[in-house]
């Protein structure tokens, strides 16, 4: 039976039957609380909802597929159309089963090894300074905005801008709540509720903003001013030799369409090696740096030293492309069901000032980071995503969601730097401020 529409290579009617089977299993609460059950629900539901969003006229240009994949499952859960048991399964998918330790390394290693060497050198050296300045300027400006609307300068910095720019709930909101309770008194759990709410509102905003920025950049790379967005994957406005010819584009498409199982296996094995080596270094090198950072260092060192052949680097990139294209819908759905607490976000609408300041902080961060990165030679849009949305989203899972919305998964190494190094710098900065303000 032929179908006019296809979902992931299968006729719409066949995918629809599978979708209904999965929903029936969820409603009957017979989905097992393990990797198999989580994959069945999150992959099928994520692919289906994203496909629907990608076929909505006009809105599809603004990343409707990604946005719906993040919001729709959570809405169905909130409205009681899905049982709470599936939320627990999805949450375990990330925490107990630690799916992100499989996903993020797979995206990280190949995105670096497949990157143009000159781009990597020029971009990496310029990125750290504007990222640090973004943290300082964005939190300070957000504080003044909070003071103007009567919320308070210090309160806005500590309870809204601070956790938003700190790389998520576990890496930012949780330790900050303990620091604030220690410095100023109060209940850490009550403080954590407010900090978490700010992070969640900001995370949704970063996905929407990433979609809008990407759509504008695709339509007009010189929007408002010259150098707004890069073309053909460019990051830097100057000193970058990346010029993609029609021959290169044809070869690239051919390479993607002829990826072999052997290449995927090679990329997977290489990722495993870098993953474990990163954990070994994190264990024996003092400083407490996250093993993701050591993975970045290892991958960058391999790329700069030309230790690996072009075929190996290409295979690593093929594995990353596979992970990004196949597992992104699954990841977004799991975030929606197991991580995104929609009830907490909805409660915030009763406090429009708090909601406004959360959105204002994200917008300020995007503008500040884009401007600073532009001054350091980056394109404005790429800089605002790398150092702005990379700081304001919800850490590792937020990075994936933002880059999916922007269709710029190759920027993941920079967002990971924001989440890890930027998050650590933000923690030191806020601890200093808390000691003086609380």
pLDDT given for residue 198 in this prediction: 84
pLDDT given for residue 235 in this prediction: 82
pLDDT given for residue 252 in this prediction: 39
Output 138 or 111, whichever has higher pLDDT.
138
Tokens in use for 362?
């994200």
Output 348 or 72, whichever has higher pLDDT.
72
75-97 residue pLDDT tens: 999 999 999 999 999 988 877 78
Average pLDDT over residues 271-290: 88
Return the HEC string of 243-308: CCCHHHHHHHHHHHHCCCHHHHHHHHHHHHHHHHHHHHHHHHCCCCCCHHHHHHHHHHHHHHCCCC
Which residues are registered as beta bridge partners of 378? 236
On the 0-12 / 13-18 / 19+ scale of CB atoms within 10 A, 84 is: exposed
Q: With beta carbons less than 8 A apart as the criterion, state whether 164 and 205 touch.
A: no
The conformation of residue 349, written as its DSSP 8-state character, comes to: T
Please tell me whether residue 205 adopts helix, strand or coil conformation: helix
Output 101 or 135, whichever has higher pLDDT.
135
Model confidence band, residue 208 (pLDDT cutoffs 50, 70, 90): confident
Out of 132-136, 214-218, 403-407, give the one with best mean pLDDT. Answer: 132-136
Average pLDDT over residues 344-372: 88
Among 409, 370, 371, which Cα is nearest to 389's?
370
Share of the chain above pLDDT 90, in %: 30
The region of weakest confidence among 236-245, 293-302, 344-353 is: 236-245
140-159 residue pLDDT tens: 999 999 999 998 998 999 98
Q: With beta carbons less than 8 A apart as the criterion, state whether 171 and 391 touch.
A: no
Model confidence band, residue 63 (pLDDT cutoffs 50, 70, 90): low
- Cα–Cα distance for residue pair 318/259, rounded to 1 Å: 7
Q: Tell whether the model's pLDDT for residue 239 goes beyond 70.
A: no
Distances (CA, A) of 230 to 161, 253, 353, 395, 438: 29, 20, 35, 25, 43
Q: Tell whether the model's pLDDT for residue 400 goes beyond 50.
A: yes
Q: What is the pTM of this model?
A: 0.68
Q: Tell whether the model's pLDDT for residue 64 goes beyond 80.
A: no
Answer left, alpha or beta for residue 82, where phi above 0 means left and psi between -120 and 50 means alpha.
beta
Out of 5-9, 186-190, 307-311, give the one with best mean pLDDT. Answer: 307-311
């Amino acid at each position: 039976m032929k179908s006019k529409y296809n979902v992931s290579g299968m006729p719409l009617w066949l995918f629809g039957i599978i979708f209904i089977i999965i929903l029936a299993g969820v409603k009957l609460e017979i989905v097992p609380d393990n990797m198999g059950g989580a994959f069945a629900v999150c992959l099928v539901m994520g692919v289906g909802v994203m496909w629907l969003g990608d076929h909505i006229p006009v809105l599809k240009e603004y990343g409707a597929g990604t946005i719906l994949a993040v919001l729709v499952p959570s809405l169905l859960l909130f409205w009681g159309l899905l049982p709470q048991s599936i939320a627990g399964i999805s949450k375990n998918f990330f925490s107990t089963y630690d799916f992100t330790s499989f996903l993020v390394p797979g995206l990280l290693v190949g995105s670096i090894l497949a990157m143009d060497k000159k781009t990597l050198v020029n971009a990496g050296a310029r990125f750290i300074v504007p990222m640090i300045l973004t943290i300082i300027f964005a939190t300070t400006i957000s504080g003044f905005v909070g003071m103007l609307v009567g919320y308070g300068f210090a309160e806005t910095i500590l309870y809204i801008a601070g956790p938003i720019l700190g790389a998520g709930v576990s890496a930012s909101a949780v330790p900050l709540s303990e620091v604030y309770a220690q410095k100023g008194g109060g209940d850490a759990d009550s403080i954590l509720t407010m900090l978490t709410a700010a992070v969640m509102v900001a995370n949704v905003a970063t996905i929407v903003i990433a979609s809008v920025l990407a759509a504008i950049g695709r339509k007009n790379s010189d929007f408002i001013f010259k150098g707004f967005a890069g073309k053909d994957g460019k990051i830097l406005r100057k000193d970058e030799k990346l010029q993609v010819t029609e021959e290169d584009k044809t070869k690239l498409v051919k390479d993607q369409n002829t990826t072999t199982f052997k290449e995927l296996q090679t990329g997977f094995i290489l990722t495993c090696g870098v993953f474990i080596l990163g954990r070994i270094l994190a264990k024996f090198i003092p400083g407490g740096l996250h093993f993701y950072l050591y993975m970045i260092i290892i991958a960058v060192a391999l790329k700069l030293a030309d230790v690996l052949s072009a075929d190996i680097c290409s295979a690593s990139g093929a594995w990353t492309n596979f992970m990004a294209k196949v597992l992104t819908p699954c990841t977004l759905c799991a975030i929606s069901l197991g991580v995104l607490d929609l009830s907490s976000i909805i409660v915030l609408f009763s406090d429009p000032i708090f909601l406004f300041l959360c959105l204002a902080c994200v917008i300020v961060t995007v503008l500040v980071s884009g401007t600073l990165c532009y001054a350091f030679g980056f394109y404005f849009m790429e800089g605002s995503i790398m150092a702005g949305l990379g700081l304001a989203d919800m850490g590792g899972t937020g990075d994936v969601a933002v880059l999916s919305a922007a269709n710029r998964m190759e920027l993941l190494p920079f967002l990971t730097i924001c989440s890890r190094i930027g998050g650590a710098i933000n923690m030191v900065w806020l601890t200093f401020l808390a000691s003086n303000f609380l």
